[in-house]
Amino acid sequence: MARVAARYSESQSFDRRLYRHDIAGSIAHATALADAGIISAEEKKKIETGLREIEREISSGKFLWDESLEDVHMNIENALTKKIGDAGAKLHTARSRNDQIALDMRLYVKDEIKRTCLRIKKLQASLVGLAQKHVGVVVPGYTHLQRAQPVFLAHYFLSHVESLARDAERLSDCMERTDVLPLGSGALSGSTIVLDRESIARDLKFSRVSQNSLDAVSDRDFVCEFAFCLAMIGMHLSRLSEDLIIWGTSEFGFVEFSEEFSSGSSLMPQKKNPDMAELTRGKTGRLYGNLMSILTTLKALPSSYNRDLQEDKEALFDSVDTVNAALEVFSGMLPKLKINREKMREASGDPNLLATDLAEYLVKKGMAFRKAHETVGKIVAGTMGKGMQLGAIPLTKLKKFSSLFDADVAKIFDVRRSLTARRAIGAPSPDNVRAQIKHWRIQLRG
């Protein structure tokens, strides 16, 4: 092969991160070859010992990667053969690089799913800790970036715990479809040398064995699904980032980022920029791009293995690294956020946040909701530009809009009373919020 072609087609520069998985698969394959009588027990022992030595060399950085050998598989096999002789050359019996890389990728994704779930759990714990620390703080809830209704700040933090829980559930679902052994499928149609694939699956801790060799070597659905899960995590972190960036502006002043997780301006000394949140928001675009890259690579491939599949790795590896770094940053950044309770108290004291409560007051008096909504809308419109707050309108004026208003309407404009009344499942009453904090503390201990 021409040197330029070899450089163009090599993958060892990035697929070398699969070395542990490749070695684990090779040891399990050697065991199956020995059980089938293809290699001797002594040869199997030499292979395993040699592979363990190579694994230690790679881990310590002493292994010399040969660019001419194309990929992680050939580098390890070549090193093994040099180390132990003919026994190493027998290892590839009844195996193709097609089912070998399919195995390595599944082992890698399984490991990374577990790792990502642990990081999600750590971030959830940080959010629950914030919720507990600020359990009594009230903040405006927003729709369309307009003040809408009051909520507890703890309820806001717990909302992100929920979205991360869905991410963990998706990863668990992805694990089920990843947890299928492809080794033994050969290049595309198995081998006349029949190995005990179920025994290999047990050795490598797979719960199932693939049932169609042609599909097994070409299936990268699990890679797409994992990349989608990672993109969803990025999206959730990006939305949290956006909230915190907005809340950290002078116009809001609800939060302040610690110096450890922000930066100053190169020109303006008064600035404290939310770089970690902004970078996370930006990196989410890369996660989307990586997913689309893999999907686009797969969309027009003919059946069985094609070299195009080499292109799934760099995109997936980048997504894994990006998400795990973001989860780690957020787990450290969130507990160090400074919460400006006074600013939040001031903002949540806006009586207009209770306009819906006022409409519901009329509903409880017998008025249809649409009529109540219209009535309160007129009241709010009448206060605008007159410097009068909704909660300060005299009862006599309210009665001009509806005779249903009575002296008890004054109770409506008590924010904490309003929140206490929101007792339905999922609503932000104090009891519900405390119950959810307790629930998640128990869940995250397991």
User: What residues are annotated to the active site?
Assistant: 144, 265
**What gap in Å lies between CA 96 and CA 184, rounded to an integer?**
9
Alpha helices in 135-272 (DSSP H): 153-178, 197-203, 213-218, 221-247
**What gap in Å lies between CA 183 and CA 99, rounded to an integer?**
5
Cβ contact 182:188 at 8 Å: no
Alpha helices in 299-340 (DSSP H): 312-333
Share in percent of the chain as helix, strand, coil (round to 5): 70, 5, 25
> Phi/psi at 171 (nearest 5 deg)?
-65, -40
- Residues 6+ away with beta carbon under 8 Å from 102: 182, 183, 185, 216, 217, 219
**What gap in Å lies between CA 230 and CA 208, rounded to an integer?**
24
Half-sphere exposure of 150 (CA within 13 A, CB side): 31
Cβ contact 139:156 at 8 Å: yes
Half-sphere exposure of 219 (CA within 13 A, CB side): 22
Q: Alpha-carbon dihedral of residues 140, 141, 142, 147, nearest 10 degrees?
A: -30
**What gap in Å lies between CA 22 and CA 54, rounded to an integer?**
11
Cβ contact 312:219 at 8 Å: no
Match 């306009």 to its residue by tokens: 355
**What gap in Å lies between CA 54 and CA 20, rounded to an integer?**
10
Query: CA angle, corner 228, sides to 224 and 234, nearest 5?
Result: 145
